[in-house]
Amino acid sequence: MNKATATIFFIGVMIGAPLFGFLSDRWLLESAWWLVAKRKTKAAHYYIRNCTETNNRSKCIAAITPKTLLESAEADTGDQRQNGLGYTSFVARLGVSISPLVMLLEDVWQFLPVATYCAVAIGSGLVASLLPETLNTQLPEFIEDIEKPSTASSASKMKFENVLVEVNGFGRFQIRLILLLVIPRVTLPFHFLLNNFIAVIPSHHCDISSLDYGERFRNLSLKDKLVVSIPLQRDGSLSLCQMFPEPQYHLLYNSTNTTDLLTIPCQDGWVYDHSTFKSTLVTEWDLVCDKRSVNRATATIFFMGVMAGAAAFGYHSDRFGRKRTLLVSYIITTIFGFASAFSYNFAMFAAMRFFTGFGISGISIVSIVLCIEWINIKHRTLVGVLMSLDWSLSTILLPAVAYFVNDWRYLTVTVTTPLLLAMICWWWLPESARWLISNGKVKNAHFYLTKCAQFNHREEFMADLKPEVLSKIILVEDKNRKYSYVDLVRTPRMRQLALLTGIVWFGVACVYYGISLNVPGFGVGIYLTQFIYGITEVPAKVFIIFFLNKIGRRLTQAGTLFLTGLCIFSNMFIPQNQWTARIVVGASGKMFAEAAFTTAFLYTAELYPTVMRQNGLGYSSFMARIGVSLSPLVIILEDFWSYLPSIIFSLVAFTAVLSASFLPETLNVRLPETIEDVEQTRRRSIPTTDEKSTL
């Protein structure tokens, strides 16, 4: 009762805030701002004159008449400042009213109130970073002042889409580009999911072949030797890591109770079941029992390399171009991919896998940007989804390859081999004309645009388009300026964009790999599980094309993430023995997660400007790899509480949904070329005939 008094008081404050905010905007006569906005200029003139007389500035008011003040009121909309302050005060008092109730949570856990207050403070800080800066800024008078776009016209700046329309933004040239990029992209799921096959822990037990306990022991069959040498687990199977210090012959007659017998760790290694896999990392270096955690680290080490590579290749692609950066990623991935197959100890293998992940990250983020920058607005959605189909088809193909190539060294070589062909095909890849123009290399851009026009049988257009004209298509802020990740946070809207896309990518990757790396989750064979994971991604690509074009990128991104979190959350309530239901819900979650990932690549490429697109995608991929690296650690939490991983993954997904809902829509919007284009309002719709004529 005592604690409720504060809550009751602040409920009254909460009710009074919007009430007096409304009354103040309705009848307050002392504010000249409000009077002018309400066109009560005579009263406003009276108060302004009193102000100037009090401050000895009477000369200032002499030239100002009520008519002059009337001309300054440009709209009929009343001032909403007090309503806004009343609303925010209302929300503040809502928080104050809840505060005493939060303190009561200490009865549940003493640190829970502190944890709650910290989470609210951090969340408020993140939201505050999305607000516009008001330092040295004029007060807005009307709603129109907040809603109206920048007066600067973007029509004269973003004309590259018009050029693509004229040279055919989806012709033979673009189709050839897609096919050339599919070859290296096949290796992406091969390496990203390779750990599911090369790090498998097969059935095993202590090796007793070297034991010699006399003639009686030697005369026993192998089955009886195992009975007297290795204790049984609760499920009746042989212990994985323990053995008896000496034979227990009485177990030949009664083997039901071995719990009270002395056991020791395996002394001479382990014997593995090679019926499924001829060789894995585990069988190669005995990564079991005490070294089991080392084996789990292989996936994290690889994704740490991917995380580092995302930042490095994102920067260098915007600095040195898409094509050259792509070749470097081919070379690094090929060298270290083959080197990892010839590793002679685990430390060397871990280092090689790190650099393999570093290199393959470039293939992932640079290839999609290079492709999107050559596609026109109309076909951007289709191509973005088609480019992601190579992942799904390769995911389906991977279990078949692993089934026939069941030695981890040969499997690693096999999944790296396509990059040899990719390096040959690299010579026919074009550089991004957008990037070339943005960096002042108009002659090179004209060369590639001419090749595009020739392939698509549009030579007549490029014959009239000179390189000098291209320099006016994209107005570069500073040709000598070198962009970096710092530019992601220098301006308000770029800062907001970086924060939101980072959260979205973290959430998408965390839940996607939380499902993908949990291969035993369906309770069926490893090959069938991986096949199910892959096959569910194909329908996701089919329906995602429709939704991306009909409801837009933002709602599709938020919707697929929400459905993913809902599937993960629902699976907690399905009993373990109902595998059919768990398979259906789990596969649905995987399908929606893949749809969210597909949308994220396309959406992010459209959000960031050309001068920062690769930096933006590199940063987003970096955030995604943090999520991927944390996924295996979250799964381990099931040892503390079986529902905890599902709850965490669901919360991460729902947080990403909220972030995605604040991103701007990019459906039928031209790709921004400069940071200034992002800071201003972007134009919608496909280029018009009038705009084409300006070229």
Q: What angle do CA 530, 534, 535 make, to 5 degrees?
A: 120
Place of tokens 């516009």: 132
Q: In the numeric block, which tokens belong to residue 140?
A: 């807005």
CA distance 79 to 27: 12
pLDDT in tens, 421-434: 999 999 999 999 88
Query: Which stretches within 279-432 are classed as H helix?
Result: 281-285, 292-320, 322-341, 346-372, 377-404, 408-416, 418-425
Select, from the ranges 25-39, 118-132, 459-473, the one with the highest average predicted confidence (pLDDT): 459-473
CA distance 93 to 85: 12
Q: Region 527-544: what's the mean pLDDT?
A: 80
pLDDT in tens, 602-659: 899 889 888 888 788 888 888 888 888 788 778 777 767 778 888 889 999 999 999 9
pLDDT in tens, 11-23: 565 566 555 555 5
Residue 584 buriedness (CB in 10 A; 0-12 / 13-18 / 19+):
middle
Contact 673, 158 (CB under 8 A): yes
pLDDT in tens, 340-362: 999 989 899 999 999 999 999 89
The pLDDT of residue 507: 92
Contact 642, 508 (CB under 8 A): no
Q: Region 236-265: what's the mean pLDDT?
A: 75
Q: In the numeric block, which tokens belong to residue 650?
A: 């669901």
pLDDT in tens, 73-94: 443 334 444 455 445 545 654 5
Specify the higher pLDDT residue, 222 or 558: 558
Contact 160, 473 (CB under 8 A): yes
The pLDDT of residue 150: 40
Strands 270-272, 204-206: pairing kind:
antiparallel
Q: In the numeric block, which tokens belong to residue 315?
A: 């920067």
Q: Does the pLDDT at position 338 exceed 90?
A: yes
CA distance 411 to 401: 8
Mean pLDDT in the chain? 77
Q: Does the pLDDT at position 156 exceed 70?
A: no
CA distance 29 to 40: 9
**pTM, rounded to two decimals:** 0.66
Query: Which stretches within 579-688 are classed as H helix?
Result: 579-607, 613-636, 644-660, 675-679
The pLDDT of residue 23: 54
pLDDT in tens, 43-71: 777 777 777 666 666 655 565 666 555 55
The pLDDT of residue 20: 59
pLDDT in tens, 306-330: 888 888 888 888 888 889 999 999 9
For the chain, percent of residues with pLDDT exceeding 70:
75
pLDDT in tens, 114-138: 777 777 777 777 777 777 765 545 4
Contact 557, 663 (CB under 8 A): yes
